């Protein structure tokens, strides 16, 4: 079966939290995820239909939108699904939504050590535009954030 795209809703919080906690050493809290809904946010998710009416969350993204700009704040793929192109599908969906909404300046930050994500963002037209020293808490200490933009 093909994964289905749809916006996230507050009803998806439990599934989001499971994926978030499995995918990240320092996951977003339930409260932070819950605060990411509303008019200023762009969300998207990929679901795999299963038997009956049930669906399984494969991945999602959360971005904010202000005027003609958007910042991708979180993109997450379930660990068992990583490496199969779902991150690219989510990114391409996000970029199509931005284009439809007239958003022309796109931003994100990524851990310096996240080589796969950085390569994905570069292949989607982002460029490195700066660095935030010691921005993230890493397993062995602080880690820099690489700032990227697409204009």
Q: In angstroms, rounded to a whole number, what is the distance separating the alpha carbons of residues 151 and 71?
A: 12
Q: How far apart are the first and last CA of the chain?
A: 35
Task: Give the active site residue among 55, 109, 112, 143.
Answer: 109
Task: Give the active site residue among 60, 94, 121, 126.
Answer: 121
Helices marked H in the chain — which ranges? 13-23, 30-34, 86-100, 115-123
Query: Degrees (nearest 5) of the Cα angle 7, 8, 9?
Result: 120
> Is 109 a known active-site residue?
yes
Q: Please name which of 90, 97, 105, 70 lies closest in space to residue 23, comparing C-alpha atoms.
A: 90
Give the residue numbers marked as catalytic. 109, 121
């Amino acid at each position: 079966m093909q994964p289905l795209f749809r916006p996230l809703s507050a009803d998806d919080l439990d599934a989001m939290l499971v994926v978030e906690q499995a995918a990240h050493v320092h996951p977003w809290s339930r409260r932070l995820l819950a605060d990411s809904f509303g008019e200023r946010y762009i969300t998207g998710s990929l679901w795999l239909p299963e038997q009956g009416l049930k669906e399984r969350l494969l991945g999602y993204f959360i971005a904010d939108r202000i005027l003609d700009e958007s910042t991708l704040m979180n993109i997450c793929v379930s660990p068992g699904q990583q490496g199969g192109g779902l991150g690219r599908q989510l990114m391409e969906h996000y970029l199509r939504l931005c284009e439809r909404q007239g958003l022309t300046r796109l931003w994100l930050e990524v851990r310096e050590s996240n080589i796969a994500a950085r390569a994905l963002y570069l292949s989607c037209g982002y460029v490195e535009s700066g660095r935030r020293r010691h921005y993230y808490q890493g397993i062995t200490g602080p880690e820099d954030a690489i700032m990227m933009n697409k204009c």
